[in-house]
Amino acid sequence: MGLFSFFSQEIAIDLGTANTIIIQNDKVVVDEPSIVAIDKIKNKLIAIGSKARQMQGKTHEHIKTIRPLRDGVIADFNAAELMIRELIKMASSKNNMFTTTLKMVICIPSGSTEVEIRAVRDSAEHAGAREVFLIHEPMAAALGIGLDVEAPEGSMVIDIGGGTSEIAVISLGGIVANKSIRTAGDDFTREIQEYMRHQHNLKVGERTAEAIKINVGAAIPDIEDPPADYMVRGPHQMTALPVEIPVSYQEIAHCLDKSIAKIETAILGVLEETPPELYADIFKKGIYLAGGGALLRGLDKRLSEKTNIKVHIAEDPLHAVARGTGIALKNVDKFEFLMR
């Protein structure tokens, strides 16, 4: 191992709308919410990740919290660059490494436009990367789940993240049919906020809606091991007096129904486009579910009933895409044809 390679750093980044995960040497070294807090007067970064997340919805006029990614793509170029730079620093400090050069593999939604792809590449280069490889999310998810993407057989992967839901059929190292829709975890959170306002006259912030989703989120109104009702506190819309309301998982299943139906429609659309030979493989092997959305109670059952195909939840679905990006980084030469 030469001196140059000792000082060089290779990292894989799952740049997500909700969380950004950095993998180095097969280990998750950073797993932080994709959010930054900025001092508006000094135009200076105050906090990133979980520290910035704690400030969300609780700031005064001098501090602004920004989520640099929306719908899976960079919405605020400056904030994204600051976030990537700081997270790389975080990863380096954990390994006590002084680094000179960076090779990065970053995953992007399969429906990204050229402009969106350019924004990711530019942000990474400005943050210090010398070499940037981009890989599509469903391909990274398939690698992370442990599927043989180069085999001459069809595999179907659904990755429900924060900003996008990626549905793809993969065979021979390429994407045969795919759809990237902007209905995902963030939409579920917004639906819950709306529902609480309309149904209970209760105003809740993004963080509370997220907590409701995690504690009592469900895709079907009858699950085998139901969670206990979740108590939500907040101001009544009309009186502004404090109220406390129990929320059940059935309510959330009802409130998320429309969003999940959109994902189901997209899945059926991809299955329609799938060549019959690959369809037969998928029917035999089943569909694989990854991303944070895979943790929604009963979602696998609902999708399985809709498609008549068995649905498997990936092991550790939150990190499947990041793990796959790490595998692509280790085998850049082998998987270079998958990247751009």
**pLDDT number for residue 99:** 56
Res. 1: pLDDT tops 50: no
127 close to 101: Cβ distance less than 8 angstroms = no
Indicate the pLDDT class of residue 101, thresholds 50, 70 and 90. Answer: low
- The reported pLDDT for the residue numbered 2 is 44
In the structure, what pLDDT confidence band is assigned to residue 157 with cuts at 50, 70 and 90? very high
Distance CA 34, CA 114 (A): 22
Tell me the pLDDT band of 110, cut-offs 50, 70 and 90: confident
Residue 253 DSSP SS3: helix
Q: Give the domain 3-139+321-338 fold.
A: Nucleotidyltransferase; domain 5 (3.30.420)
pLDDT band of residue 97 (cuts 50, 70, 90) is: low
109-113, 269-273, 321-325, range with the lowest pLDDT? 109-113
Q: What's the pLDDT tens digit per position in 249-263?
A: 999 999 999 999 999
Span 115-131, mean pLDDT?
89
**To the nearest whole number, what is the mean pLDDT of the chain?**
90
State what percent of residues in the chain have pLDDT above 90: 73
Rounded CA-CA distance 265/268 in Å is 5
Residue 108, strand partner residues:
136
Handedness of CA 256, 19, 163, 14 (dihedral sign): negative
- pLDDT of 274 > 70? The answer is yes
pLDDT digits (tens, 9 = 90+) for 213-235: 999 999 999 999 999 999 999 99
Q: What is the pLDDT of residue 25?
A: 87
Residues 6 or more apart whose Cβ sits within 8 Å of residue 311: 286, 287, 288, 289, 300, 301, 303, 304
Contacts of 272 (CB under 8 A, 6+ apart): none
Tens digits of residue pLDDT in 168-223: 999 998 999 999 999 999 999 999 999 999 999 999 999 999 999 999 999 999 99
132, amino acid identity: V
pLDDT of residue 3: 44
Mean pLDDT over 140-159 rounds to 95
If one compares 167 and 88, the residue with the highest pLDDT of the two is 167
Q: What is the mean pLDDT of residues 243-247?
A: 95
- How would DSSP label each residue in 38-82? EETTTTEEEEETHHHHHHTT---TTEEEE-SEETTEES-HHHHHH
**CA 147/CA 159 separation, integer angstroms:** 14
The pTM score is: 0.90
The percent of residues above 70 in pLDDT, for the chain, comes to 94
Q: How confident is the model at residue 96 (pLDDT cuts 50, 70, 90)?
A: low
- For residue range 28-77, list pLDDT tens digits in order: 999 999 999 999 888 889 999 999 999 988 888 899 999 999 888 889 98
The pLDDT, as a whole number, for residue 59 is: 87
pLDDT greater at residue 6 or residue 335: 335
Domains of the chain, residue spans: 3-139+321-338
Q: Please tell me the predicted confidence (pLDDT) of residue 129.
A: 87
Q: Alpha helix (H) ranges present in the chain?
A: 3-7, 50-55, 77-94, 114-126, 137-145, 185-200, 206-216, 249-255, 257-273, 276-285, 299-307, 320-330, 332-335
Q: How far apart are CA 274 and CA 267, in angstroms?
A: 11
Residue 158 CA to residue 293 CA, distance in Å, equals 10
